[in-house]
Chain A
Amino acid sequence: MKPQNSPLAFFGKIEGLAVAAVLVVLYGVFIITAPTVFTGYRIYMSFLQTVPPVLVCALGLTLVITAGEIDLSFPAVVAFSGFIFSWIFKNFDASWAPWVGFVLALAGGALVGYINGLLVARIHVPSIMATLAAQFFWYGATILLSNGLQLNIKEVIDTTVHAIFVGRIGDIVPLQAFWALGLAIFLWFILNRHKFGEEIMFVGDNAEVARVMGINVEATKIKLFTLHGVIAAFAGLLLTLEINVFFPTQGQGFLLPAMASVFVGGTSIAGGLGSVIGTFFGAYIIGSLEAGIVATTISGYWVQVVEGIVMSAAIVLNAAIGEGRISMISDRLRRWGAPVQSNTASEAQRKDAATPK
């Protein structure tokens, strides 16, 4: 098992490099196949504007999946936080309204996440069930509170909140891209260099080991879900501020792209290890695919097929460069269809050796 012997091993040494390479190749292909669109800067600015809300959700989700859990409720939080902000902005004509709305929207996300955390950690509801229920509940609650209507907040363009979070640098580069980048850097440090991140990894790796090593597994999960609630609320704010309108179904299309971003980025569903950088590039891959494929002028019916192929390729590439996996995969390919014998044999040997004499 010496992954360094393989040419692919180099990619495994630097976190996210493989996914970044996939993104570069993808843009390379688009530049060749759709030069008119992809040689100009506008398409890239458009990606920097549309990808960040999904990316922000995916960054938080990376931590949740690293802890061996899942959160399906963040699309509802995107809508819920957007509603809180818009409602306060619409109903209070004061200079503080956008800021208070902003903070309360984040607090709303924290509340949703905290309740998710309590259900998962204290009542031991599997996170897939708890957060699925939460998704229905908070999405429904948002529709109920908003009477199913959208709120137009055109005036938000003139506020500092708008300028700070979704303004344009030099009237061109969307600021939300920098907020998403900043969040990615922050979460990378949390996951890889902070006690909390280490606790997340050990909880996801093996909660029993984490417990006997003195980690408060329940508290870690509650903190994590709360954090993801806040992050999803932030994504909702970026979206609402960008489009200057709240609509009750906003965020509903985020679930699958965000999850795809995490998996394309190399984070395993098994938990224990996660790649924030991978998710960052993964979200741009997912977010660029559709526009890119359409720009190549091939039939629109092909979009999802090509998306599926690119995602699978990225996921297989990530699996291949994992520690010692290359030999394993090539082994499996060689023995395609042959009965697996080696494992059972070594197991029997081990059992034999472990039997007390």
Chain B
Amino acid sequence: MPTNDHHSGTNASPPQGGPDVVEPSVQHPAVRMVNIEKYFGLVCALKNINLEVGRNEIVGLIGDNGAGKSTMVKILTGVFPPTRGELYIAGQKVNLRAYNVKRAHAHGVETVYQDRSLGEKQVLWRNFFIGREITLPFGFINVKKEKEIANEIMVNTIGFRGKGITVDSSVRLLSGGERQGVAIGRAMYFEAELIILDEPTAALSLKEVRKVLNFVHKIKDGGKACIYISHDIQDVYEISDRFVIMDRGEIVASIAKKEITLKALDDFLLEYSHGLKDKGES
């Protein structure tokens, strides 16, 4: 049985100091959420969320539908603010009242969604810079520069070579895995402190999933922090350094990969959900 604690210390505090945990940042963690809560009217969507993600660390976020994963991601990415709590990015406290998607980008929080990352009909170079264009005076786009950089990202960061895909290709010509590669490459180019991958492999074929996982490995090699959300425990296990398990708006366990095997994690999740079921039934 893995070490876990439903409500106390392991409530997502990162594995620090122990010999058996991943070595995250010596300085500030990439991101730190302190006592974050979110209410929608009277409904509590997130409660007492304390989570740190260290640099060079990939945290696998696991939980059933409605566990609060998406709400947490939306708070981190500035889609909506929490009801209360504090957020630190690279040690800097974030003013949550003025926080929005643009500010999140400025703070270095990038997100790769299952299907909301790229404009399908748009050419690739536009997709790399949408929302933060390189502009000339009067808001006109520096197309030449954007194309140059987009090409560099495609060749060097993502590793697209040949294949007949250029920065002028439309996104709809790309396979699902390649699309996620573009979104991940974009996130890495913009010097993200934290890259959130929200179900990036859902609806992809096995071969395409492999491609995406390779991209995620590159994130870690690039020294970035990452939150990886997926229903596929096998993928999460392969990719992550630590597993944070959420249920009903709370973080219920935080387990370092070195402390648990895939089978044990699977069993644990199964037992856990059964345990809850029993509790609910009784």
Residue ranges of A at the interface with B (Cβ–Cβ < 8 Å): 1, 189, 193-196, 198, 201-202, 205-206, 208-215, 272-273, 323-324, 349-350, 353-354, 356-357
| Most chain B CB neighbours (cut-off 10 Å) among A201, A211, A354 | A354
Task: For residue B151, give the distance in angstroms from its CB to the closest CB of chain A.
Answer: 18
Q: Mind listing 6 A-B residue pairs with CB under 8 Å?
A: A193-B141, A208-B116, A210-B119, A212-B77, A215-B131, A356-B231
Residue ranges of B at the interface with A (Cβ–Cβ < 8 Å): 77, 79, 100-102, 105, 111, 113, 116-122, 126, 130-133, 135, 138-141, 143, 170, 172-173, 201-207, 231-234
Contact B116 A209, beta carbon cutoff 8 Å: yes
Question: What is the bound-complex CA distance between A208 and B202, given in angstroms?
Answer: 18
Contact A198 B205, beta carbon cutoff 8 Å: no
Contact B101 A213, beta carbon cutoff 8 Å: yes
Question: What is the bound-complex CA distance between A213 and B129, given in angstroms?
Answer: 9
In the complex, which residues of chain A have a beta carbon less than 8 angstroms from the beta carbon of B120? Answer: 205-206, 272
In the complex, which residues of chain A have a beta carbon less than 8 angstroms from the beta carbon of B113? Answer: 212
Decide if the interface of chain A is mainly helix, strand, loop or mixed. helix
CB contact under 8 A between A354 and B139, given known A214-B101, A324-B173: no
Contact B131 A213, beta carbon cutoff 8 Å: yes
* B186 (CB) vs chain A CBs: closest residue: A213
Contact B133 A354, beta carbon cutoff 8 Å: no
Question: What is the bound-complex CA distance between A205 and B100, given in angstroms?
Answer: 22
Question: What is the bound-complex CA distance between A205 and B131, given in angstroms?
Answer: 14
Contact A353 B122, beta carbon cutoff 8 Å: no
Contact A354 B203, beta carbon cutoff 8 Å: yes
Contact B126 A198, beta carbon cutoff 8 Å: yes
Contact A1 B130, beta carbon cutoff 8 Å: no
Contact B170 A323, beta carbon cutoff 8 Å: yes
Residue in A209, A353, A357 whose beta carbon sits within 8 Å of that of B119 in the complex: A209
CB contact under 8 A between A194 and B139, given known A323-B170, A356-B231: yes
Residue in A206, A324, A350 whose beta carbon sits within 8 Å of that of B203 in the complex: A350
In the complex, which residues of chain B have a beta carbon less than 8 angstroms from the beta carbon of A1? Answer: 173
Contact A205 B119, beta carbon cutoff 8 Å: yes
* B208 (CB) vs chain A CBs: closest residue: A353
Contact A201 B79, beta carbon cutoff 8 Å: no
Task: For residue A294, give the distance in angstroms from its CB to the closest CB of chain B.
Answer: 39
Contact A194 B119, beta carbon cutoff 8 Å: no
Contact B141 A212, beta carbon cutoff 8 Å: no
Residue in A201, A206, A356 whose beta carbon sits within 8 Å of that of B126 in the complex: A201
Contact A195 B133, beta carbon cutoff 8 Å: yes
Contact B203 A214, beta carbon cutoff 8 Å: no
Task: For residue A187, give the distance in angstroms from its CB to the closest CB of chain B.
Answer: 13
Residue in A193, A206, A356 whose beta carbon sits within 8 Å of that of B233 in the complex: A356
